[in-house]
């Protein structure tokens, strides 16, 4: 596919392309231009030009385009989901849900467009202040490969409805879904230059976007390490920044929890998207009085998960998205075994067999008796490995849950209202789920505390993140 700059499907300035490969079998699924700094400059110029008109259109008119695009995305759900599965690896059912999620987000912000207005404040001595809500200008969106459609929606929806124009950079391994969704927005009437997609590497395209003084805001979703670099580089031109970074979400299972529900929640929370979700359950704390029974049931359930190519019928878990992640997971579990930092009670290896030969597959893995200093607890484990820790009670669980530099999500599983209240108040995270984990509809403001990020996306709050207020006093 070509990339989209100023409404034109275009090659990169260098003419270079790269292959996109299916992580389930290593087969090529397409190609994308290898963009560079020059391509970013072209895109920024087009976005700057397009801003002049787009920012002056009534918000409801902008919303109508998003509505039309959402409808078209729903019509093309299957084709889009196949593209997503082929480049990302997730099971087709999850890919279909994700595409639907993208449409939901566009519709949510299209709906909000009708309510966007300015504010009037009366002042002492008969004065008046009108507070205008204005778009920021050209914005940059840098997104990861794990949930490329939803995360693109989180940025495109609020940025465009508020009158900004956008330069978007997909992750290197998942450009095709973003380009297909951009193509639908274009067909739905989005004017040329309002949304530009530049494909290529973070070190060239991404860094140039963060450097470019003409980009007034960067919304970045990715790892904490890259997020820190983005924050530092963005300061040179005093850009607005939203950073949605990594997490190490704790799930706390109390002795009075509905055990079946908690087991299902742990399976979905950890192994959905092969464990590559920012808000996946990455540490599980279970009360010691029920731990043995809980682990027995969880192990039984996990060992029934079918691992395979996401396009195949009945597959519950696909491969990891790329070789670097696959190597990291193998190394992490290898270290646990080598250093005797825990008991691998299920999985802990690459599956064997012809169908797994050329893919980045890893078995769903459970580790118990994890040592407190283990990287499984200290780092973000972005793959299908769940460390399980037993605790005496809620105080200990909360203390251990908060003992991390991350603070994205957390969950409490209990029937006791007092325990729920205590956990919701004390867990250090941007979101706490009660008897569930992971679900994030567009209405919910979302973001992290501590090193998990800066700012909020989603919900009405994202409107603030893409607008500047200007006060006019008379
Ligand atoms: P990553 O940080 O390696 O890359 C993210 C994006 O940044 C990619 O498009 C990449 O090309 C680009 N990039 C890389 N280096 C750059 C640089 N120097 N300057 C500018 N851009 C650069 O992350 P990843 O491995 O693609 O994604 C996984 C991470 O994303 C995990 O940590 C996960 O938790 C996080 N994530 C967070 C959320 C959230 O909403 N909080 C959602 C999904 C994923």
pLDDT in tens, 375-389: 999 999 999 999 999
Out of 90, 139, 278, 419, pick the active-site residue. Answer: 278
Q: Which of 225, 250, 297 is nearest to 403 (CA)?
A: 250
Q: Max alpha carbon distance in the chain (Å)?
A: 81
Average of per-residue pLDDT across 218-223: 98
**SS3 label, residue 70:** helix
- Give, to the nearest 10 degrees, the angle between helix 59-75 and helix 175-187: 120
What is the per-residue pLDDT for 126?
A: 92
Q: What is the pLDDT of residue 416?
A: 98
Atom of ligand 1 nearest to the CA of 457: 40
pLDDT score recorded for residue 263: 98
Active site includes 13?
no
> Residue 437 gets which letter from DSSP?
-
Residue 43 contacts residue 5 (beta carbons within 8 Å): yes
Do 3 and 198 meet the contact criterion of CB atoms below 8 Å apart? yes
How many angstroms is it from 274 CA to the middle of ligand 1?
Answer: 17
CA distance 271 to 275: 5
Average pLDDT over residues 258-275: 98
Active site residue 457: yes
Residue matched to tokens 């639907």: 100
Instruction: State residue 456's pLDDT score.
Output: 97
For the chain, how big is the Rg over CA atoms in Å?
23
In angstroms, what is the span from residue 292 Cα to ligand 1's centroid? 37
The tens digit of pLDDT for each residue in 53-93 reads 999 999 999 999 999 999 999 999 999 999 999 999 999 99
Alpha helices in 89-166 (DSSP H): 92-113, 148-161
> 281-287 and 249-253 as β-strands: parallel, antiparallel, unpaired?
parallel
Ligand 1 binding residues, C-beta < 6 A:
142-147, 151, 169, 171-172, 202-203, 206-207, 210, 221-223, 226, 229-230, 244-247, 278, 380, 382, 408, 448, 453
Give pTM, 2 decimals.
0.98
Q: How far apart are CA 238 and CA 244, in angstroms?
A: 18
User: Could you give phi then psi for residue 12, rounded to 5 degrees?
Assistant: -75, 160
For this structure, is 264 an active site residue? no
Mean pLDDT of 210-226: 98
Torsion of CA 206, 209, 211, 212, to 10 degrees: 160
């Amino acid at each position: 596919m070509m990339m989209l700059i100023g409404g034109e499907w275009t090659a990169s300035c260098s003419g270079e392309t790269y292959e996109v490969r299916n992580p389930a079998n290593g087969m090529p699924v397409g190609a994308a231009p290898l963009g560079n700094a020059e391509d970013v400059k072209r895109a920024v110029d087009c976005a700057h030009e397009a801003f002049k008109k787009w920012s002056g259109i009534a918000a409801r008119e902008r919303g109508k385009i998003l509505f039309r695009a959402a409808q078209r995305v729903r019509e093309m759900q299957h084709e889009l989901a196949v593209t997503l599965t082929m480049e990302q690896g997730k099971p087709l059912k999850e890919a279909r849900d994700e595409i639907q999620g993208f449409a939901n987000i566009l519709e949510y912000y299209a709906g909000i467009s009708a309510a966007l207005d300015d504010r009037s404040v009366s002042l002492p001595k008969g004065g008046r202040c009108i507070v205008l809500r204005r778009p920021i200008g050209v914005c940059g969106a840098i997104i990861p490969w794990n949930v490329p459609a939803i995360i693109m929606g989180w940025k495109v929806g609020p940025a465009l409805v508020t009158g900004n124009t956008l330069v978007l950079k997909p992750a290197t391994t998942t450009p095709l879904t973003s380009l297909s969704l951009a193509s639908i927005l274009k067909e739905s009437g989005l004017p040329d230059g309002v949304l530009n997609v530049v494909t290529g590497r973070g070190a060239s395209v991404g860094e140039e976007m963060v450097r470019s003084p003409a980009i007034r805001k960067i919304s970045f979703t990715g790892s904490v390490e890259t997020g820190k670099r983005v924050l530092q580089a963005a300061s040179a031109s005093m850009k607005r920044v939203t950073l949605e970074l990594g997490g190490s979400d704790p799930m706390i299972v109390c002795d009075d929890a509905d055990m079946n529900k908690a087991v299902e929640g742990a399976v979905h929370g950890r192994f959905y998207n092969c464990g590559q979700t920012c808000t996946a359950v990455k540490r599980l704390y279970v009360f010691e009085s029920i731990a043995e029974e809980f682990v027995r049931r969880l192990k039984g359930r996990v060992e029934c998960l079918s691992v395979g190519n996401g396009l195949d019928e009945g597959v519950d878990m696909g491969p990891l998205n790329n070789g670097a992640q696959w190597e990291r997971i193998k190394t992490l579990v290898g270290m646990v075994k080598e250093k005797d930092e825990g008991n691998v009670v299920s999985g802990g290896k690459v599956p064997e067999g012809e169908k797994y030969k050329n893919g980045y597959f890893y078995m769903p893995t459970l580790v118990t008796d994890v040592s407190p200093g283990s990287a499984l607890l200290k780092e973000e484990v972005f793959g299908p490995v769940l460390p399980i820790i037993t605790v005496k009670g809620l105080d200990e669980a909360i203390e251990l849950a908060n003992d991390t530099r991350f603070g994205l999500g957390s969950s409490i599983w209990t029937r006791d209202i007092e325990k729920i209240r205590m956990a919701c108040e004390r867990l250090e995270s941007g979101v706490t789920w009660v008897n569930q984990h992971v679900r994030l509809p567009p209405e919910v403001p979302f973001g992290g505390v501590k090193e998990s990020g800066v700012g909020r996306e989603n919900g009405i709050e994202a409107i603030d993140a893409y607008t500047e207020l200007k006060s006019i006093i008379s």
